[in-house]
Each structure stands twice: as structure tokens, then as C-alpha cells.
Homo-oligomer: A and B are copies of this chain.
Amino acid sequence: MGSVREAWIALAHAVEPGDARLGARVNREGPEVVVDMISQRDQSIPEGVSARWDAAQLDACEQRAASVGARIVTRADTEWPHQLDDLGPRAPFALWVAGAPDLRLTLVRSVAIVGARASTRYGDEIARRWAAELAGRPITVVSGGAFGIDAAAHRGALLAGLTVCVVAGGVDVTYPQAHASLLSRIADEGLIVSETPPGQSVRRQRFLSRNRLIAALTQATVVVEAADHSGTASTAREANSINRPVAAVPGPVDSASSRGCHRLIRDHEAILVCTSHDVEELIPGGLGEDASIGGTSEQGNLGARERQVLDSLPMRGSMEMDALVCASGLRGGEVAAAIGLLELRGLIESHDSGWRLRR
């Protein structure tokens, strides 16, 4: 293989999303070493991985992405959302992204709005209204592509701002079919994101591994409605496991669609939220009431975390993500969020494969 970037792309083709065993090895030994082992059919590599490798046609992958209107964003790219690193060995190697906005910047302030496919009017109305309110502030809404709460959230967000749909199959796979026009509108005005190559079908396991991406890409997860023991609960669990705040919306006690929310609140796995403002309060590193994105370069009202990252950067030269995490003493996701804000404010800029203070 050639560059590191190509190694990440190769891994994204060969390894099933969320494979923690290979992920740990990649994080330990580096992508290029593991890719070499796969291509040499090292006996420590599972047969399934080798078989997928054979089928991948890696030399044409960028072209194939482009042909479905997508680009590949790898861990080596500046567009990579580093908050995904919080997933550790389960972090994806690359993402397929359809849509114009920059993935990383779009997600600097973002919230996952998730919930039941079998939603009620009550849940749909809350998802739609809160998504519109949050998107207008602006906070990017992230959800899946399912019926019910997911669709209501995207529709609401599109009324006022950006929405990101994380799908379980390839970005070009329309699922469910009834959402064809919604998905194409999202690709036009927002982003469709997947960690599986174009053409890949949706599968039950991929919905579950997709949920970890929704949890990790965003700064907080809100469960609007959920049945007991539902798939939505898995997104909440993923978010909790990487210390992202989780919120749930209460509803009438007799509504089966609120039962999962009530259980999450009762078991202290989610805090209770009643308004979109309650949700906004969960998102750390806010800009403050008076700040306008991309406006002033004044450092006055930075959050503690942003200041910490700013103070960790050298006066000359740039620093890479890993070094910044180390220097600041913060978590990867926190540093990523802070970098996004500092960049939006014009205080830092990306340089080489890291960031530097802007003069």
C-alpha cells in the first residue's frame, strides 16, 4: 500500500464496523502494519477479513465514492471528527460522506436526536420542534434514517439549519425506500455519513454499530421516545460508555413509547429534559449568549476547555491531535470540540497534520 490515508481506506473496506479486536491492533501497531498483514494473509488475520480484502477493489474506491456523490474521510484527513477517537478500538477507520459541508466543523456543536420508529404524534412533534430550535441556534442535529423520531428530527432540523444522517448501509443505499426524497434532501442540504462502502446493504448488526457512531459524533444524545429494551437504548448506552451526556424526554406514563425514556431516567442513565434549552445546556463548550460563530477573534469569553487547548499550542509551529490531547490533559473528544470552536473563532488554523496559533 501507499500512503497512511490509503491504509485507512483499506481497513475500512476489510474490517466490519466496530471490530474491537482488529481496532485495538490497528491503534497499537499502526494502520500500515495491519494492512500489510492483511495483504500478506498473515495467519493472525481472520479469514473473513481477507475475503473482504479480496473483494474490495481498492484502487477504484475513491472513484466509486465520487460516482455516488460521496468522498472518503479518513483518520488522516483534516475533515476527520476526532471525537470518534473516544471510541478507542471501536473507532471507525474512515467514513463515506455525501454532502457539501465540512464534516468536522459541522459537528463541533451537535446533538443526536434519536428514538423509536413506532413513535407517537407527541414524540414526532417534540423531535420536529426541538430539532428546528436547536438547528437554528445553530446546533447540528444528527440522527439515523429510520421512520418515526429519526425522520421527524431531520425534517425539523431542515427547517432551520443543518442535519446529519448516519446510515447503516452505504451512503447510496436508500433505506427505508419511503425515505428516498428525505435522504436526497439531506444530501443536498446537509450530510449523509456511513462507515461502510457504497453499495453495502443494511444489516441488523450494522444498525447497532451505526448507533455508536451517532453517540460518538455528537456532544450529547437525546432520546425522545423509546419502547422498553429498544435499539434506541443501545445508542444511549454507547453515549454513556464514552461519557457523553444522555437525556430523555418524559411522557404520559401510559404511553408504551415513553417507557424506555422513563426507564433511562429512573435508572439514572439519562437526565430528564423538558425543552430544547435543557438539551442545549448539555452541550459543553458553548459559545455563550453573546458570541457569534466565526465573528470576533477576541479571546474574552472562551470556555475553560478552549482556553486549555489554546494554552497548550506552541507559540511557533503546529501540534498534532495526539500531542494536543497529551499537552492539554483533556479527552480526545473534548480537544476536538475545543479545536472546532477555536478554529471557527479564527484563533487557530490547521497546518500540516495538526493545528497552530493564527497570527
Contact = CB atoms under 8 A, between A and B. Distances in A.
Interface string A175-217: 0000000000000000000000000000000000000000000
A251 B126 CA distance: 13
Interface string A272-297: 11110000000000000000000000
In the complex this chain forms, how many copies of it are found? 2
**From A249, A252, A253, A265, residue with most partner B Cβ within 10 Å:** A253
Contacts of A155: none
A101 B122 CA distance: 45
A228 to B, nearest CB: 10
A243 to B, nearest CB: 19
Contacts of A274: 253, 259, 262, 266
A271 interface: yes
Contacts of A122: 252
Nearest to A250: B250
A266 B247 CA distance: 10
Contacts of A249: 253
A220 to B, nearest CB: 15
Nearest to A259: B274
A68 to B, nearest CB: 40
Contact of A265 (B253, B259, B265): B265
A253 B266 contact: no
Contacts of A273: 253, 266
5 contacts: A122-B252, A250-B250, A250-B251, A250-B265, A251-B253
